[in-house]
Amino acid sequence: MELPRGVRCHPPSVEPWSHPLGTVGGTDLVHVNLTNNETREAAALKWLDAAETARWRRYRHPRPGRQFALCRAVLRGLLCERLQCANEDLRFVALEHGKPAAFVGDTPVPLSFNVSHGGNHGLIAFAPQGRLGVDIEERNLRHDPDGEIRKVFTADEQDALASAVGDIKTRLFFKLCTLKEAVIKALGTGFSLDTATFELPRPMYRDGQRQARFELPPLRQLPRHTRVTWRLDDLGTDDFAAAVARELPPQVG
C-alpha cells in the first residue's frame, strides 16, 4: 500500500476528515474531524499496521478507538506525504510516558510532530525541529474550576481563575489546561510533572494574550535542566480550546 506522491491518506471514495488549520511560528497545524463516521473509521483502519490495529482492538469503548484510528491514519498520510515514504515503512514506538516517536525503517523521522484529540476534534502539529506538544479540548466542564481541580494551577493562575465569571471563566480554565498540557506533551513527562510547579506567562492568562515565549524554571522532575525558550500559542476558537508548545532553537550570535 505505497502512498504515491501527493496523495493524502483519504481514499477517493471517502470524504476527507482533516484539513489544514494554518501555520503559527513555523508549526503547521491540521484539524482532524473525529465525529462518529463508520465509513471513515473503516478507511482509517486500512492505514494502520498490526500493532496499531491490535491497540485499536484493545479499546473496549468506541470513542477512544475512533479517536485513535482517525488521528493515526491522518498522521500516517501526512508523514508519508512529507517524507515521501511508503506507509508500510512507517512505524511508531511509544516513549516512556506514551509520547509517540516515528521511524522510517530504522531511521527516526527528521521532523517533530505531536497529536491530540478531545471529543470530536483532533489536532496534529508538525515542526522542522525541537520538542513539540499540542492539546485540543471541547469546552465541556466536568469539574468546578474553583474546586479540587484548581490545584493543578499555580496560586496566581488560581487567582486569575477565581476572579473570572461565566463563559470567561470556562474559556480561561480550558486555556490554562490546554497550554499546560501542551507543555507537558512537548516535554514528554506525562503526569509525573506536577503542573502547579510551573507558571504560564502571565499576559496569556491575565490579559488574553494568545502567544508568548517563556522558560521553564528548574524542576525536580526535570533533573537535566538546561535553559530552553519555548513558544506558546493559544489556538482556541469558539468550537474548541487548543494550544501548541514548541521548543525554539538556541539563538545564534
Partner 1 sequence: MSDVETRLFSLAQENLDLGRDPDWDLKLSESDLSSMDAVAFIKLVNHEFGIDIPPEDLGDIDTMRALAKYIEGQTA
Interface with partner 1 (CB under 8 A): 55, 58, 60-61, 63-64, 67, 94, 96-98, 117-118, 135, 137, 142-143, 148-149, 151-152, 177, 180-181, 184-185, 189-195, 220-221
User: Closest distance between partner 1 and the C-beta of residue 251, in Å?
Assistant: 29
Q: Name residues whose C-beta falls within 8 Å of residue 30's C-beta, 6 or more positions apart in sequence.
A: 18, 19, 20, 21, 74, 78, 123, 124, 125, 126
- Choose between 7 and 51: whose C-beta lies nearer to partner 1: 51
User: Closest distance between partner 1 and the C-beta of residue 94, in Å?
Assistant: 6
User: Closest distance between partner 1 and the C-beta of residue 244, in Å?
Assistant: 15
- Choose between 80 and 181: whose C-beta lies nearer to partner 1: 181
Q: At 203, which helix (H) or strand (E)? A: helix 202-206
- Choose between 173 and 214: whose C-beta lies nearer to partner 1: 173
The alpha carbon of 78 is separated from its chain's Cα centroid by a whole number of angstroms, namely 15
**Nearest partner of 232 among 248, 251, 252, judged by Cα:** 248
Greatest alpha-carbon pair distance for the chain in Å reads 55
- Choose between 97 and 202: whose C-beta lies nearer to partner 1: 97
- Choose between 8 and 55: whose C-beta lies nearer to partner 1: 55
User: Closest distance between partner 1 and the C-beta of residue 22, in Å?
Assistant: 24
Q: Name residues whose C-beta falls within 8 Å of residue 239's C-beta, 6 or more positions apart in sequence.
A: 121, 138
User: Closest distance between partner 1 and the C-beta of residue 98, in Å?
Assistant: 3
**Torsion angle of C-alpha atoms 95, 52, 191, 146, degrees rounded to 10:** 150
